[in-house]
Amino acid sequence: MFEKFKKLVSEAVNLGSRGASASSALPSSGYSGATGGRRAANLGGGISRGQNSLTIAEGTTLVRRSRKLSLNNPAAVAAIDAFVSNAVGTGIVPHPTHPKEKVRKKLRALWEEWGQSADADGLVDVYGQQSIACRNVLVAGEMFGRFRPRRLSDGLPLPFQVQMIDPEQLPFYFNGGSSPSDGNIIRGGVEFDTIGRRVAYHFYKAHPGDADVWPDAFELTRVLAAEALHVFRVTQARQIRGTPWLAPVIIRLADLDEYTDATIMRTKIANKYVGTIRNISPDESVLGVISDQEGNQLAPDGVSFANVEPGTIVELGD
């Protein structure tokens, strides 16, 4: 028995020594991403600023560039359309959980009836509002809605509507104290109380880019947080505002646009082959006179020119 125990101890000691020699060959850092060397030289020390500081300082630029790509970049447009189509589709429908089927049926019917008049601007139904919100979360990082109670005399199925508010209507740069009496602070257009709860949002009355259409666009309106809807993807604790989902690929998409345009232009230029024929008569015009539909000569006196297009044949004098 003792010999068997001695053998087990000997094997355990040998195993420990082999493990020690193997571990000595490992890097001193536990995470490969924290090691030094040539491959990590361009990574730097990382970003020391918090997400809220970055968003408030750079949010306006990010949203503007992301908006431009969502209007002009085919790849961005296709990706946004595909995501909205898959996420929302024909609409996200609530499912009542009341125990009585009769009540559930009435609730579904009331939802559909109210959904037709849910938009305070009267442009889309409730499913259209869902698509607008989803699209803005992708492009601008967030979307806002304002609850608008209505009178019973307005004739709505329910005396309640939702007004859609563009993210640009909540200014990133609006920071400071609300009033000395309550001690609230405003960060990125959002007002917080002394224990960090959202109290209100300070919106422009209209999109700041439409100031030439709405003269009061830059007037700020304080909307209570209980009367507002803020839709954005939360990725960190105490996050104040959302960031565009296109942010990581803005530069790459812009480079792709320039590369595509340059490639198309190069192909168009390379395709403009021109054939020439020498004309032995010096009295005849070499290139001819170019005129518009009314007979007005387009070229100055003594100057002739021709439109260079694929397959053009030009006569040249001796």
pLDDT tens figures, 203-212: 999 999 898 8
Local structure of residue 297 (DSSP, 8 states): B
CB-CB contact of 304 with 287 (8 Å): yes
Is pTM, for the whole model, over 0.85? no
Local structure of residue 57 (DSSP, 8 states): H
pLDDT at 215: 86
What average pLDDT is seen over the chain? 83
Residue 260 pairs with which residues in a beta bridge? none
Residue 297 pairs with which residues in a beta bridge? 291
Q: Quote the tokens at residue 274.
A: 């021109």
Q: Give the closest residue to 208 by CA, choosing from 217, 195, 199, 197.
A: 217
Q: Give the closest residue to 26 by CA, choosing from 38, 16, 15, 35.
A: 35
99-110 pLDDT, tens digit each: 999 999 999 999
pLDDT at 303: 56
pLDDT at 12: 53
pLDDT > 50? residue 54: yes
- Stretch 144-161: mean pLDDT, rounded? 95
Q: What percent of the chain has pLDDT over 90?
A: 57
pLDDT at 159: 95
282-306 pLDDT, tens digit each: 555 555 556 666 766 666 655 555 5
pLDDT at 90: 87
CB-CB contact of 241 with 161 (8 Å): no
